[in-house]
A and B are shown apart, each in its own frame.
Chain A
């Protein structure tokens, strides 16, 4: 679509800028959680993720050593050392001894703490504390300081989330739900789609209309009756009503209208001559379907598989109704929702968990985008 207008330099430049702005708005949110998930958890709350490559300033607390380490010099009792016991390199900008005023004194100055006690804390963390009287007690003086730490990136959050927050287990549960729920509907839908496209029988038009109608029926209509049905069946057989089998079948049922619709419109578009020449050669409908239609339909089967995979993986509603919330059944989306409640402010947990839940769809999406777009176009443009 080469429109000849708007080709002046200014307007072309404007188009580039406009698209750049859109792309920025659409990618920055995802980038935010990716970057945050790799940051040190103290830094996440100390500075915005867009500043993660700059040093961050945070207020910390430390303790001077106990009285037993004091030495007597020129009639004064002295404590010396470095507040960073771990040898970490950080720059202290200010310090204090009261939690209400943690940055009362600039680094390198001497603070008068009363009773002749003097504390000096330097930028590198070294300190000198002097007092005319001997220090007492096992616990040293509490010191607060504002330090700037260099940017610190870590995979620690992923380790925590996968192995101690239960996200790893939920990941397996999601896979357990998704793969069978993607594979099972394909063959069932393909046979039905072939019959609706190429076989003549009374009631066919009505069936097609019903399926198109079912395409838009809200899931909410199915939940309560199915919940009752599952509870009834479970009670009848003395089994739990929340099972993987139950959710596999539910996703199969909810995915079928779209599957049949998508496959039917594709299969109906296959060339008539191929079907007819096969029929003249004596092939039955079953043989035509298996030997001709199925191999030719590969692209649309792939499209549907991607749709169903993404839809089941990303689903929260069906999983919350038909699966339990225990560790052995909770899927990623439900787990993430639970973490939002229980770990509300722990952004290192939330951003990392969110990234784990979206990584599989993103990989599927990027590697198979061609099929996905094709399915999208066939699914919505043709019949609507």
Chain B
């Protein structure tokens, strides 16, 4: 273990030192090859221009190389693999896609993913908005927000253990140590095995992600609400609007842009959700989702790269509309700069 700590420290030094050495050295090299000081006027201007051509690429170079290896090449390769067989050797055309849409587990995953997409972003945004509005009105709002924000720092696996403890089931009449069944038994209900209840178990898994992500929605929306001009609210009050009208007709329309951002961010997260399903049910009891199914096929029976890649591509297709929208929004904003 000492060797491990030593190698980690060594890597930090080499990594950071290497970066510094590269940027400093490459910069010096450009100055040496195209000197701009101590040469005649015309040549200096010429060299300055050449420096200006080369230097930006030195700055973005390392980032571009890493991004190419770790993200751009894999996207192309995954697309290619989705048309190959399990070992990634023989071309099989659309066979993987045909398999996917005929596979019961895959169709179940798609269906579950649609339910997740319909419920989680909406619930997080709605709860986040409500809490943001309410906490703005009380003196201990900052503390309350901090506590609701806290689960955002907890890993999905940690959160799964936390909620598994809440859903813990003991036979009827026994002392329940899971708080949910304890409450239900206290009020005379029947304790349930929540994570294997057909169909509804999905919702008990979604609760975990909602619990984590509501804090994110709350913080973003809270800051957007602060940006609403006071005058619009005062005018509404003078016109005799009640709090609900003010909320729905004055506040919400003014922060539509932010709501859309929160919604899409959580949507992408939902598409990638894997840890919660893996740790809670591992896809049993019809709770499978695409990301976990993909992981499963990566290793199932020695790994089927063709099918795994196909599932990844289907997740990617769902993300593309949001990606295009993001790029257009960003272009609109940075167009001038």
Partners in one complex: yes
Q: Is the CB of B175 within 8 A of A316?
A: no
B155 and A316: CB pair below 8 A? yes
Segment among B39-47, B99-107, B116-124, B308-316 that sits at the interface with chain A: B308-316
Task: Tell me if B32 is interfacial: C-beta within 8 Å of chain A.
Answer: no
Q: Which residues of A contact B98 (CB under 8 A)?
A: none
Say how far A80's CB is from chain B's closest CB, in angstroms. 33
Contact of B70 among A204, A253, A313, A350 (CB under 8 A): A253
Per-residue contact bits, chain A 176-198, to B (CB 8 Å; 1 contact, 0 not): 10011001100111011011110
Asked if B8 is at the interface (CB within 8 A of a chain A CB), the reply is yes
Contact A28 B179 (CB under 8 A): yes
* Chain A contacts for B190, CB-based, 8 A: none
A245-268, CB < 8 A from B: 245, 248-250, 252-254, 256-257, 260, 268
**Interface mask (A188-212 → B, CB under 8 Å = 1, otherwise 0):** 1101101111011100110111111
User: Contact between B163 and A214 (Cβ–Cβ < 8 Å)?
Assistant: no
**Number of chain B residues whose Cβ lies closer than 8 Å to a Cβ of chain A:** 130
Question: Does the CB pair A358–B166 fall under 8 Å?
Answer: no
A340 pairs with B164, CB closer than 8 A: yes
- Among A217, A220, A260, find the residue whose CB has the most chain B CB atoms closer than 10 A: A220
A382 lies within 8 A of chain B by Cβ = yes
Within the complex, which residue of B8, B16, B146, B298 is in contact with A227, where a contact is CB–CB below 8 Å?
B298
Q: Are B23 and A365 in contact (CB under 8 A)?
A: no
Known: A217-B75, A222-B74. A256 touches B162 (CB 8 A): no
Q: A216 an interface residue at 8 Å Cβ cutoff?
A: yes
0/1 interface trace, chain B 150-178, chain A, CB 8 Å (1 if under): 11111111101111111010000001111
Which of the residues A179, A225, A336 comes within 8 Å of B12, measured between beta carbons?
A: A179
A286–B27 contact, CB under 8 A?
yes
Q: Does B95 contact A (CB under 8 A)?
A: no
**Which residue of B64, B147, B157 has the most chain A CB atoms within 10 A of its CB atom?**
B157
B163, A213: Cβ atoms under 8 Å?
no
A61 contacts partner chain B, Cβ-Cβ < 8 Å: no
Is A226 close to B, CB under 8 A? yes
Complex-state Cα separation, A213 to B75, whole angstroms = 12
Chain B contacts of A5 at CB under 8 A? 237, 241-243, 246
- Give min CB distance, B131 to chain A, whole Å: 6
Q: How large is the interface on A (under 10, 10 to 19, 20 to 34, 35 or more residues)?
A: 35 or more
A218-B275 contact, Cβ under 8 Å, with A23-B148, A29-B166: no
Set A220, A228, A285, A328: member contacting B88, Cβ < 8 A: A228
Chain B residues whose C-beta falls within 8 Å of the C-beta of A215 in the assembled complex: 326
Q: Pick from A217, A285, A336: contact of B319, CB below 8 A.
A: A217
Partner of A188, one of B66, B73, B316, B329: B66
Q: Is A342 an interface residue (CB 8 A)?
A: no
Q: Which residues of B contact A41 (CB under 8 A)?
A: none
- Check if B56 sits within 8 Å of A188, measured CB to CB: no
- CB-based contact B4/A216 at 8 Å: no
Cβ of B71 and Cβ of A217 under 8 Å apart?
A: yes
Residue of A183, A212, A353 touching B15 (CB-CB under 8 A): A183
Pairs A-B, 6 closest by C-beta atoms = A253-B70, A314-B155, A195-B59, A192-B63, A225-B77, A365-B153
Beyond the given pairs A226-B74, A316-B155, A340-B161, 15 more chain A to chain B contacts, judged by CB atoms under 8 angstroms and listed by A's residue number, are A19-B134, A26-B150, A187-B20, A191-B60, A207-B60, A214-B67, A216-B322, A221-B315, A224-B81, A225-B81, A328-B4, A350-B165, A353-B161, A357-B155, A383-B330
Residues of B within 8 A of A (CB): 1, 4-5, 7-8, 11-12, 15-16, 19-20, 23-24, 27, 31, 52-53, 55-57, 59-60, 62-64, 66-67, 69-75, 77-78, 81, 88, 127, 131, 134-138, 141, 144, 146-158, 160-166, 168, 175-179, 182, 211, 214-216, 219-220, 223-226, 228, 230, 233-234, 237, 241-243, 246, 258, 260-262, 264-265, 268, 271-272, 274-275, 278-279, 291, 294-295, 298, 305, 308-309, 311-313, 315-316, 319, 322-323, 325-327, 329-331, 333-334, 337
